[in-house]
Chain A
Amino acid sequence: MKSAVIVFPGSNCDRDVAVALQQVTGTAPEMVWHGGNELPKVDLIVLPGGFSYGDYLRSGAMASHSPVMREVVKRATGGTPTLGICNGFQVLTETGLLPGVLMRNAGLKFLCKDVWLRVENTDSLFTGRYRKGEIIRVPVAHGEGNYFADDATLKELEDNAQVAFRYVTRDGTVSDEGNPNGSRNNIAGIFNRRRNVLGMMPHPERLAEAALGGIDGRRLFESLVDAL
């Protein structure tokens, strides 16, 4: 499985996700600088976490217009599996590949902690190794992870089973208590309609080996290896 990690000025999880990909797939991903128009032919494109362009204007807004993104949008629209983590999710919404927007956390504070997620849909390239309804622990680290979409868009996401992960309490309850940032419907990650694009605020690459304190994130990458 060949993958590419897009590196923007201000990305800071590009190497973390590269390590996770290398360990799980056995192949180091290509690190692709945002400024070029060239993107190697790969099975997976990853937009990593960080603070591209210092979050100027809106998080992800500037990066979504980087030269390489034209090709990323083209490939993703054409069906290439594409994963956006944290800032990568913000970039995906800014490009329009995923609906909605990530707003300032409802509590206004930057959050850096482990959260509980419920796996909502295992019928995808990204989530095949999880069990439906399984509760997993994955870290978040963001100031703007408050998922917002209008009622019609939310209904479409729910009706088409496009919600991948939801924030929950440890016992799996979807409630305000389990919602760290005010996201509508406790949404932590969504697919596009075709389910070849996944955007999520939590960082699976940060809990992808036992030495990091957990392995719940690892299966996301293993799912991709199975599927690709």
Chain B
Amino acid sequence: MDQEEFHTVKARIYVTLKPGVLDPQGKAIQHALAALSFDGVDDVRQGKFFEVSLAETDRAAAEKRLDAMCRQLLANTVIENYAIELE
């Protein structure tokens, strides 16, 4: 392992539609699953997933920066929620 990797934080970011926001794509996927005979699929919500590698040693600082990234670009907080997981 080279020196660089010690300083990299890896994060998984999930962006999902807020409850109550209609998701026509999720609905279409749900119907397609039913058409494939997958029974009992009550609901499907589609979202986005990001893997971000960040040059940062301090985890708390990394989390703060990732949170700002979500608010400013990765999620539109009018309709979307986000969750950040650090590796």
- A65-B73, A108-B28 known; A101 and B22 CB under 8 Å? no
Q: CB distance A148 to B76 under 8 Å?
A: no
The residues of B that contact A148 with a CB separation of less than 8 Å are 21-22, 78-79
Interface residue from A94, A106, A107 paired with B76 (Cβ < 8 Å)? A94
Question: Which residue from A105, A108, A149 sits with its C-beta under 8 Å from B78?
Answer: A149
| Cβ-neighbour of A100 out of B24, B25, B73, B78 (below 8 A) | B78
**CB contact between A61 and one of B22, B73, B79 (< 8 Å): that residue:** B73
Residue of B nearest to A64 (CB): B73
Against A, the Cβ 8 Å flags (1 = close, 0 = not) of B16-39 are 000001101100100000000000
Q: Is the CB of A103 within 8 A of B79?
A: yes
Specify the chain A residue showing the minimal Cβ separation from B50: A57
Could you tell me which residues of chain A, from 140 to 160, have a CB within 8 Å of some CB in chain B? 148-150
A203 at the interface (CB under 8 A from B): no
**Contact in complex: B73, A104 (CB < 8 Å):** no
Bound Cα distance A163, B73 (Å): 27
Interface digits, A98-136 against B, CB 8 Å rule (1 contact, 0 not)?
011101111110000000000000000000000000000
Inter-chain contact A104/B76, CB cutoff 8 Å: no
Q: List chain A residues, Cβ under 8 A from B25.
A: 104, 108
User: Contact between A107 and B78 (Cβ–Cβ < 8 Å)?
Assistant: no
Number of interface residues of B (CB under 8 A): 10
Per a CB cutoff under 8 Å, which of B24, B74, B78 touches A104?
B24
Taken together as a complex, chains A and B put the C-alpha atoms of A93 and B28 apart, in Å, by 26
Residues of B within 8 A of A65 (CB): 73
Q: In the complex where A57-B73, A61-B73 touch, is A101 in contact with B24 (Cβ < 8 A)?
A: no
Distance in Å: Cβ of B81 to nearest Cβ of chain A: 13
Least CB distance, B29 to chain A, in whole angstroms: 11
B22 touches A106 (CB 8 A): yes
> How near does chain B come to A58, taking the closest CB pair, in angstroms?
6
A29 at the interface (CB under 8 A from B): no
**Chain B hits for A104, CB < 8 A:** 24-25
Q: Which residues of chain B are near A61, meaning CB under 8 Å?
A: 73, 76
Judge if A182 is at the interface, Cβ distance under 8 Å. Answer: yes
Whether B24 lies near A58 (C-beta < 8 A) is no
Shortest C-beta distance, B58 to chain A (Å), equals 26
Instruction: With CB as the reference atom, state the residue of chain B lying closest to A94.
Output: B76
Contacts of A93 in B (CB 8 A): 78
Give B79's nearest chain A residue, CB to CB: A101
Shortest Cβ distance from A60 into B: residue: B76
Knowing A106-B22, A148-B21, A182-B22 are in contact, say whether A101-B76 is a contact too (CB < 8 A): yes
Subset of 26 A-B contacts with CB under 8 Å: A57-B74, A58-B76, A61-B73, A65-B73, A93-B78, A94-B76, A99-B78, A100-B78, A101-B76, A103-B21, A103-B22, A103-B79, A104-B24, A104-B25, A105-B24, A106-B22, A107-B24, A108-B24, A108-B28, A148-B21, A148-B22, A148-B78, A148-B79, A149-B78, A150-B78, A182-B22
Nearest 3 A-B pairs (CB), nearest first? Answer: A101-B78, A101-B79, A108-B24
